[in-house]
């Protein structure tokens, strides 16, 4: 059974710092991995999707990498801003149904 | 972009009543829709997978007679919580998938059962 873990559970950084959020999964046979952002009381915003054949994806200040062999993905946020404060969730799709298994999330606070 | 809406955004109901939540893909046809629930400060748990015109597939431990899912068209899926009780109070989120692999999520529905 696939398990997705995210560390750290919470992170507080000053504005401008570069930071890395970690996501690990126990079963490397994934179809894809997605990173999401969730603001309090809101739904999820898709940030990046990495196909199983890809190693990384970039969008603006965000870069996500995928290493299936080690069961890890990282989300790199460059030059963090207070507006980046949110909970970041990673999720793995395990089969052709594309059902997502979510990690528990990292709550990020970027201090002005 | 791909926009998914949910209605209502929040609902308060009395114990024993039924509540229907709609999930719509506004600018694309969704091959599959998914329903999740999220408890405070916890992650999302998949409840069921819904394909247009067929019965929903429920995850282990989810009561299909309590959480009725209807996927009437490629742009609309509904979740009905029947005979709701306080323990059903939660944040319910749907997502929709196009032909590609990416899922797009709705804004969620906050259900409070008194």
pLDDT-derived band at A28 (thresholds 50, 70, 90) equals: confident
Rg (CA), chain B: 13
Q: What is the pLDDT of residue B101?
A: 73
Distances (CA, A) of A44 to A49, B21, B89, B93, B105: 13, 17, 19, 9, 6
What is the pairing mode between strands A86-93 and A32-38?
A: antiparallel
Q: B 5-34 residues with CB below 8 A of A?
A: 6, 32, 34
Of all residues in chain A, the percent with pLDDT exceeding 90 is 82
Of all residues in chain B, the percent with pLDDT exceeding 70 is 99
Judged by DSSP in three states, B97 sits in strand
Q: Are A91 and B30 in contact (CB under 8 A)?
A: no
Judged by DSSP in three states, B34 sits in strand
- pLDDT one-digit tens code per residue, A37-85: 999 888 899 999 999 999 999 999 999 999 999 999 999 999 999 999 9
Distances (CA, A) of B100 to A32, A39, B29, B56, B74: 11, 25, 11, 20, 15
**CA-closest candidate to residue A49, choices B22, B95, B37:** B95
* Separation between Cα atoms, residue B86 and residue B88, nearest integer Å: 5
Which residues of B are less than 8 Å from A105 in CB distance?
43
- pLDDT one-digit tens code per residue, B54-100: 889 999 999 999 999 998 888 999 999 999 999 999 999 999 988 77
* Separation between Cα atoms, residue B17 and residue B85, nearest integer Å: 8
Q: Which of B43, B57, B95 sits opposite A103 (nearest CB)?
A: B43
Residue B32 has pLDDT above 70, yes or no: yes
Mean pLDDT of A13-38: 94
Whether the CB of B51 is below 8 Å from some CB of chain A: the reply is no
B9 to chain A: nearest residue by CA? A42
Residue B1 has pLDDT above 70, yes or no: no
Q: Which of B57, B93, B103 sits opposite A98 (nearest CB)?
A: B103
Query: Tokens 């597939």, residue?
Result: B57
Whether the CB of B50 is below 8 Å from some CB of chain A: the reply is no
Mean pLDDT of A23-37: 92
Q: Are A24 and A72 in contact (CB under 8 A)?
A: yes
B51 to chain A: nearest residue by CA? A97
**Structure token digits, residue B36:** 């999740």
Q: Which of A45, A93, A102 sits opposite B44 (nearest CB)?
A: A102
């Amino acid at each position: 059974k696939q398990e997705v873990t995210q560390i750290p559970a919470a992170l507080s950084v000053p504005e401008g710092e570069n930071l890395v959020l970690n996501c690990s999964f126990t079963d490397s046979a994934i179809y894809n991995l997605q990173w999401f952002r969730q603001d309090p009381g809101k739904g999820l915003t898709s940030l990046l999707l990495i196909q199983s054949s890809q190693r990384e994806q970039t969008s603006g200040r965000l870069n996500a990498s995928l290493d299936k062999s080690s069961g890890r993905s990282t989300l790199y946020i460059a030059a963090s801003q207070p507006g980046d404060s949110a909970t970041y969730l990673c999720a793995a799709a395990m089969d052709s149904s594309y059902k997502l298994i979510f990690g528990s999330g990292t709550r990020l606070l970027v201090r002005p | 972009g791909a926009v998914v809406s949910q209605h209502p955004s929040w609902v308060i109901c009395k114990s024993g009543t039924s509540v229907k939540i709609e999930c719509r893909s506004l600018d694309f046809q969704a091959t599959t829709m998914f329903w999740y629930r999220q408890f405070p400060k916890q992650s999302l748990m998949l409840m069921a997978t819904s394909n247009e015109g067929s019965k929903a597939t429920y995850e282990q431990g989810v009561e299909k007679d309590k959480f009725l899912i209807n996927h009437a068209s490629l742009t609309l899926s509904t979740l009905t919580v029947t005979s709701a009780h306080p323990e059903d109070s939660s944040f319910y989120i749907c997502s929709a998938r196009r032909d590609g692999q990416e899922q797009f999520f709705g804004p969620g529905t906050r259900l409070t059962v008194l």
